Amino acid sequence: MRNSKRILIAPNSFKECADSSEVSLLIAKTLKEKLSSNLDKYSYQLLPLSDGGDGFLSVIALSKDIQFLKFTIPNTLLNSQITVEVAYSVNEKIVYIESAKTIGISLVPKAEREIMKMSSYPMGLLILELINKKKFGELDFDKIVIGIGGTGVNDFGIGMLSVFGLLLLDTLGNQLNPLPEKFEGTANIVLPEIPNDIKFEIVVDSINPLTGEKGASLIYGPQKGATINEARALDESFIKLLKIYESYGIQRDDLVGAGGGIAAAFQLFFNAVKIDAKSFINDYLYLERAISESDLVITGEGKVDNQNEFEKAVGIIIDSATKQNKEIVLICGIAENIASSEGITVIEMSKFFNSIEGSISNWKEGIEKSIDKMLSSIEMFRGK
């Protein structure tokens, strides 16, 4: 195996299809089947990625000794109950939460998504339940690490904070429902009370700002079902809320917009330490070393576009592999503003089907077709 070609399989999750672990395993399985007559010529390293979004807990489970704990909480529309898992490391005394499993966009059917009514309240309830278990001696932990990405909400964490006592008040002092549709009428607040005996860290899937043209609402709101008018109204509401917070002396200069603003809420009220995706992937998952030891890097994501300028996982992979002069194959559902060029082969699964929806529902077939195309395109596989 020493002289075998080393293939690094390092995809991010394919939103609304599969997490990065599932995608990695399928790519490896498909390659081994199609190259079965040359098994000794290739070796594979699987490094499923998480930039804080979908698949965060799966990646944690691959690298740490953890146990899964189950909790029942509402969904983001607060109209039904869901069961979620968190990862608990007894040795580290750390609890890991994946926001995509807790307040994720995939948890609510597309036809039912109403951005102005969707709340991060379930995240707050989950954290409160963990805190109570610690308080009563059922769990022993000192830190909660939250992977933030793939959320279906855009509420600046207001729903989450309401669990801890945050109130929104109108000009007459009347209490408002802590939902995005009511933010515009907020004139004052009652501050939440957050326990200070637990450390919080957030792994964020993007480092875009909280507000503005590249902020949480205007960039990611439309992906979650917001109209342009709703996205602009949310952005303006976030700016108003920030000014109210500042009047109480609550402000930070490093706020990020990940998770529909929930990351910023963690920073402001939980004193959370921010870990950007690049640091997490490079330092925690040892990406640079894995790339240096490979001959070919296969990565991928459901949609690849200019969001990678905010250092998303796939952008990090491509940047690192390019600097190390490694050949790259990018398998994705759809690619915008990126095309095949020297050193990188881009394969869009949507082109194998009649629609983007077709590529989502048939993602396993799409991966297989992508592998076929890769094998016919990449020099090291020709003739195999």
**pLDDT digits 0-9 by tens, 37-54:** 888 899 999 999 887 888
The 94-98 sheet, strands edge to edge: 67-74, 81-89, 94-98, 143-148, 199-204, 273-276
pLDDT digits (tens, 9 = 90+) for 321-378: 999 999 999 999 888 878 888 889 999 999 999 888 888 889 999 999 999 999 998 8
In the prediction, which pLDDT does 280 show? 85
What is the model's pTM? 0.79
Q: Determine the Cα–Cα distance for residues 137 and 241; give it in Å rounded to an integer.
A: 36
In the prediction, which pLDDT does 253 show? 92
Contact call for residues 133 and 71 (beta carbons, < 8 A): no
Percentage of the residues of the chain whose pLDDT score is greater than 90: 71
Q: Which residues contact 81 (CB under 8 A, 6 or more apart)?
A: 72, 73, 74, 75
The identity of residue 181, as a single letter, is: E
φ/ψ (deg, to 5) at 247: -65, -20
DSSP code per residue over 290-347:
HHHT-SEEEEEEEEESGGGGG--HHHHHHHHHHHTT-EEEEEEEEESS---BTTEEEE
| pLDDT-wise least confident of 90-99, 202-211, 361-370 | 202-211
Q: Determine the Cα–Cα distance for residues 191 and 75; give it in Å rounded to an integer.
A: 24
Three-state DSSP state, 252: coil
- Of the candidates 129, 244, 114, the one whose C-alpha atom is nearest the C-alpha of residue 179 is 114
In the prediction, which pLDDT does 310 show? 46
Q: Determine the Cα–Cα distance for residues 165 and 193; give it in Å rounded to an integer.
A: 6
In the prediction, which pLDDT does 281 show? 84
In the prediction, which pLDDT does 383 show? 55
Three-state DSSP state, 124: helix
278: its two tokens: 């690049």
Q: 56-278 falls under which CATH superfamily?
A: Glycerate kinase, domain 2 (3.90.1510.10)
Domain 5-49+286-381 CATH class label: alpha beta
Contact call for residues 82 and 108 (beta carbons, < 8 A): no
Please list the residues that pair with 89 across neighbouring strands. Answer: 94
Q: Determine the Cα–Cα distance for residues 256 and 244; give it in Å rounded to an integer.
A: 18
Q: Which residues contact 76 (CB under 8 A, 6 or more apart)?
A: 103, 107, 108, 118, 119, 120, 121, 122, 152, 153
